[in-house]
Amino acid sequence: MNRTVLVWMALAALAGCKKKDEQANNTPAGSDVVGSAAPKMVEQTKGSAEAPPAPAADPKLIERGAYVAKAGACVICHTAIGPTGPDLEHAFAGGLEMPDPMGTWRTPNITQDKGTGIGTWTDEQIIASIREGVRPDGSGLYAIMPYMNYNRMTDDDAKALVAFLRTIKPVERTIAPNKDLKMPKGPGPKPANAPDDAGDQLKHGEYMATLMLCSHCHWTPNMKTFAPAGPDKMFSGGLPLTVPMLGKGTIFTANITSDPETGIGKYTEDQIFTTIKTMVKPDGKQIRGPMQFMQGTWSQLDDKDLHAVAAYIKKLPPVKNKVPASDFVANAGPPPGAPPPAGSPAAGSAAK
């Protein structure tokens, strides 16, 4: 089996990719780090020496927090990927290292370990790091940590997320800090706490799409300043990314605005839904590169939420931006996820 498939399968297991009713009896290794088993973990840690200082939170709150964590794909970045796939034993313990055109970055340990994780941070400090990109000591986080997106998170969801993070088993692991990255740093703006209007599909879609990081990857950079080329360029694509564990070369993010020629204006709302749900595009080709990683947790989200995201993306104003052709070549073997559809590039494909 090739590495891409292994990485994908492991991530799927990590995210608990089984149907909900199967999960109770047949829990894949590591899956209890996210979601349904979280309340159980709280019980296990209750009263033990490692127990977090706060009293065990309401299971409903933890469940919502786990869901927010899946939308935000925290575990995908904050878990190391070794030669045989993600280090499931140490989920959230950081150490994923990614060479990026803006500098090689690695993720910190966000488990509850008191020495090497965030176990001593207060709820407010954790929330500030996630939504404003600022550590308790006042230093700013590099914007690869998507605090500019999580800035949109409501106070309620931020509190739920922290309740979930408190259930994560402490792992002692020291991660070297990031240095000299060519990207902006926090602190970002104070969160507006604008509501998540669940009754309005478009507004709810905007909320979910923001937490799901579409604009964290799909923006158009000014390659001199490494800042967005403009406020209207958050979805018009062209960010260059390298992902050695998936393939060689550079992959540019797509223009996902409604421009019919350079964007995805010809996709129906249902086709956008299917693309983010299955990672297969309307032309039958597999999405390549880092967006594949997201499926590990996105496949756990409610279809209603994914439909709302699709509705919102469909309505993005058109921005003309022809994204450069990617020279990315996926590692040999079938693409990850579902069996490759007829006519799809089984082994590495060139630019689209």
| Residues near ligand HEC (CB under 6 A) | 69, 72-74, 76-78, 105, 107-108, 110, 118, 126, 129-130, 135, 141-142, 144-146, 150, 161, 177-178, 209, 212-214, 216-218, 241, 251, 253-254, 256, 264, 272, 275-276, 281, 287-291, 294, 309, 313, 326, 352
State in angstroms the smallest separation of the CB of 225 from ligand HEC: 19
Minimum distance from residue 24 beta carbon to ligand HEC (Å): 25
And the tokens for 175? 């991660």
Question: Which 3 state secondary structure label does DSSP give 293?
Answer: helix
Residues 6+ apart with CB under 8 A from 340: 286, 334, 346
Q: How far is the CB of 248 from ligand HEC (least distance, A)?
A: 14
Please state, in angstroms and rounded to a whole number, the distance separating the CA atoms of residues 66 and 163. 9
Pick the closer one to ligand HEC by CB: 21 or 176: 176
- DSSP for residue 175: -
Choose between 56 and 246: whose C-beta lies nearer to ligand HEC: 246
Beta carbons within 8 Å of 205's beta carbon, 6+ residues apart: 308, 309, 310, 311, 312, 313
Q: To the nearest whole angstrom, how small is the minimum distance from the Cβ of residue 317 to ligand HEC? A: 15
Q: Which is nearer to ligand HEC, 6 or 254 (CB)?
A: 254
Between 85 and 205, CB nearer to ligand HEC: 205
Measured from the CB atom, the residue of 10 and 252 that comes closer to ligand HEC is: 252
Tell me, what DSSP letter sits at residue 307?
H
Q: Give the tokens for residue 188.
A: 């970002």
Which C-beta is closer to ligand HEC: that of 135 or that of 203? 135
- Do 258 and 272 touch, CB atoms closer than 8 A? no
| Least spacing, CB of residue 21 vs ligand HEC, in Å | 26
- Cβ nearer to ligand HEC, comparing 236 with 326: 326
For the bound state, the minimum distance from the C-beta of residue 72 to ligand HEC, rounded and expressed in Å, comes to: 3
CA–CA separation, 142 and 186 (whole Å): 6
Q: How far is the CB of 47 from ligand HEC (least distance, A)?
A: 26
The torsion region of residue 214 among left (phi > 0), alpha (psi -120 to 50) and beta comes to: alpha
Min dist CB 162 to ligand HEC, Å, is 8
Q: Which residue has the tokens 């940590």?
A: 145
Q: Check the CA dihedral 244-248-249-253 and report its sign.
A: negative
CB neighbour burial string for 310-325, b if at least 16 within 10 angstroms, e if fewer: bbbbbebeebebebee
* Shortest Å distance, C-beta 22 to ligand HEC: 26
Tell me whether residue 41 or residue 287 sits nearer to ligand HEC (CB atom): 287
Token pair recorded at residue 104: 């090689």
Q: 146 or 228: whose CB is closer to ligand HEC?
A: 146
**Whether the Cβ atoms of residue 175 and residue 109 lie closer than 8 Å to each other:** yes
**Cis status of the peptide bond prior to 55, with omega within 30 of 0:** no
If DSSP states are collapsed to H, E and C, what string results for 249-261? CCEECCCCCCCCC
Contact 147, 188 (CB under 8 A): yes
